Structure 1
Amino acid sequence: MIVLGCIALIAGCGSMGLWLAQRIRRRPEELRGCLVALTLLDTEIVWGSTPLPEAFCVLKERTDVPWQGFFSELQKRLERGEPAGEAWNNEISLQSSRFCLKQEDWRVIRDIGKGLGRSDGQEQHKQLELVLRQLTMLKDQVGIWSEKQAKMWSYLGFLCGIAGVLILI
């Protein structure tokens, strides 16, 4: 019976560590997805002269989960008549818990809402270009950081389980 309890404790702590490691590994993937989506948005605004609700419809079709839901909700908000910047910020507030991104990532992404739909295509292009550069730098830094952190948390989970067993014995 004690052996089963020890195995359960190690497995539970180990699973928690693996779950945290998986969330950390998803962060660079989500940033990459955001970069792709914002590049598509830039193309739709500048080259396609597409209205924002239609541009968000294109984005929801061409992006992966969880960005699909984000752009789908943005499209619905704009079709209801909500201003683009306000819709962008409100949607970030509502959906940020579905992502593995940190607050520093959201701060950069939130900057897009400041000029979205308020100016001509060239100004929006400049704003998107700036955010794309910032996100690219952030993604590069996060890629290295996340791999180290993910390994640490996966090992730490099992080690905490073993430590708990040793303390209880």
Structure 2
Amino acid sequence: MYLKLAGAALIIFAAYLMGCQVCALYQRRVRCLEEIILGLEMFRAEVNYGLTPLPQAFQAIGKKLNKPVGTLFFDFSSFLRQGKGLSALECWRSALEKSKPELSLKNEQMEILERLGSAWGHGDKEGQGRQISLMQELLRQALEEARAESQKNDRLWKYLGLIGGTTLVLFLF
């Protein structure tokens, strides 16, 4: 009898934890978007006030930010330093491709980041600043959507895990 109760409790708890894992994915997406926006603000300050070259700026920013966004910026800096005849856009795409699994972003959000790569190293400071501002605005909209989606789905997935585990226990016993 006690063994059945312990097994039932474990099944319900495991199902609840599975629901929490899905919630963590939504929350990680929000954190990544916040970090990317922060990184772009830091980049703008580095370029405008520090007159720092692209590779050094992204290396410094990558060290300051948390994973996986810090890794994305640091990888971009590494690809730029390696050269190999790649443009800044190609280096950005390579860094994005490498970091894509850890970022937990949707395809639309990844497309915004890919478009952001076209701003690196082209035109004057003002033109780059306008391009980055536009991308920041798009990322802020994506962040608001991600926050709303996270809030909406947070309780849903936790309750779904709990109810699913309880249903499974009822079917088994």
Normalised by the length of structure 2, the TM-score is 0.90
User: Quick one: distance in 1 between partners of 2:102 and 2:146?
Assistant: 19
Deviations for 1:60-101, whole angstroms, at most 9, x for unmatched residues?
Answer: 132122222111111111110132111111111111111222
1:112 equivalent to 2:145? Answer no
**Which residue number corresponds to residue 68 of structure 1?**
70
AA paired with 2:63?
E
**Which residue number corresponds to residue 147 of structure 1?**
151
* 2:54–2:121 Cα contact (<8 Å) kept: yes
1:97 equivalent to 2:115? Answer no
AA paired with 2:149?
W
* 1:56–1:72 Cα contact (<8 Å) kept: yes
CA RMSD of superposed structures (Å): 1.5
Judge which range, 111-120 or 42-51, deviates more.
Answer: 42-51
* 2:20–2:158 Cα contact (<8 Å) kept: yes
**Which residue number corresponds to residue 135 of structure 1?**
139
**Which residue number corresponds to residue 126 of structure 1?**
130
User: Quick one: distance in 2 between partners of 1:112 and 1:46?
Assistant: 18
User: Quick one: distance in 1 between partners of 2:103 and 2:138?
Assistant: 19
**Which residue number corresponds to residue 42 of structure 1?**
44
User: Quick one: distance in 1 between partners of 2:163 and 2:11?
Assistant: 11
Aligned length: 169
User: Quick one: distance in 2 between partners of 1:67 and 1:140?
Assistant: 18
**Which residue number corresponds to residue 15 of structure 2?**
13
AA paired with 1:91?
A
User: Quick one: distance in 2 between partners of 1:27 and 1:76?
Assistant: 24
AA paired with 2:39?
A
Match of 1:56 among 55, 58, 65: 58
CA shift, 1:57, in A, is 1.6
Residue ranges of structure 2 left out of the alignment (5+ in a row): none
Percent of aligned positions with the same letter in both sequences? 25
CA shift, 1:7, in A, is 2.0
CA shift, 1:40, in A, is 1.1
AA paired with 1:124?
Q
Matched position secondary structure for 1:96: helix
Regions of 4+ moved over 6 Å: none
AA paired with 2:76?
L
Normalised by the length of structure 1, the TM-score is 0.92
AA paired with 1:141?
E
* 2:34–2:143 Cα contact (<8 Å) kept: yes
